[in-house]
Amino acid sequence: MNSFTAENYLKALFTTSNESEEVTVNELSKQLNIKMPTVTSMMKKLAEKKLVYYESYKPLRLTAKGKKEASRIIRKHRLTEMFLTQQMGFGWEDVHAIAEQVEHIQSREFFEKMDELLGYPRFDPHGSPIPDKNGKIERKNFNKLSECKAGEQVILAAVINTSVEFLKSLNRRDLKLGLQLKIKSISPADKTMEVSYGKRKSEKFSHVVCEQLLIENILKKA
């Protein structure tokens, strides 16, 4: 089995799995844009390699080995995204497509060097955590901006939607991770939020947009 192919299945299994760490053949098929019979047959092969648990008609689950392998790939992807923005000057909207390719490079040294040059970052340019070398992922419980109340002050910590269009729309409004946002008001009609940040004193964000933005509460000094 081509490592490229297997890696893409593992990554999809990892990122698509719900809280119970399960994925259905159907979900995976849609995610990868590969027909179900192909997925089934690949799952059998990955099961032989002890990377997934596979039983007919049951949801799929990564084994510990599979999880480790998957997070190794996600680590490479996210380190690459970080490298592309921090060291090469790409915008956060441009890095995904390139990282999808770079993540398959087989060279421990290459990614270790990136990590070192970046100062061992813990989050990628979209705020997603970078798994450590053992596959451990820092789980921060960020809340959605849409769940905040008027008057709150929060910090933009991550974006859920990482599509080029969405990120470009955020660029147009000078929105970046780390910015402090102040919620001035929320429209009762459609939940549109009026927010101020940086030099922008009054920006309106639709509810749909607010659901794609993850925030961190500002730490209170003891």
Q: Is 113 in the site for its own copies (CB under 8 A)?
A: yes
Region binding its own copies by CB under 8 A among candidate stretches 22-30, 64-72, 110-118, 185-193: 110-118
Window 72-131: residues binding DNA (CB under 7 A): none
Is residue 60 within 8 A of residue 54, CB to CB? The reply is: yes
SS3 174: coil
Among 47, 98, 155, 179, binds its own copies (CB under 8 A): 98
Which of its own copies, DNA, none is residue 53 near (CB under 5 to 8 Å by kind)? Answer: none
Q: Is 41 in the site for DNA (CB under 7 A)?
A: yes
Give which of 115, 114, 118, 138 is closest to 127, Cα–Cα: 138
In whole angstroms, what is the distance from residue 151 CA to residue 138 CA? 29
User: How many residues form the binding site for its own copies (CB under 8 A)?
Assistant: 19
Q: Is 2 in the site for DNA (CB under 7 A)?
A: yes
Give which of 128, 21, 7, 124 is closest to 72, Cα–Cα: 7
Q: In what order do the strands lie in the sheet with 180-186?
A: 143-144, 213-217, 153-159, 180-186, 193-197, 200-205
Nearer Cβ to its own copies, position 102 or 148?
Answer: 102
Region binding DNA by CB under 7 A among candidate stretches 53-61, 107-115, 133-141, 143-151: 53-61
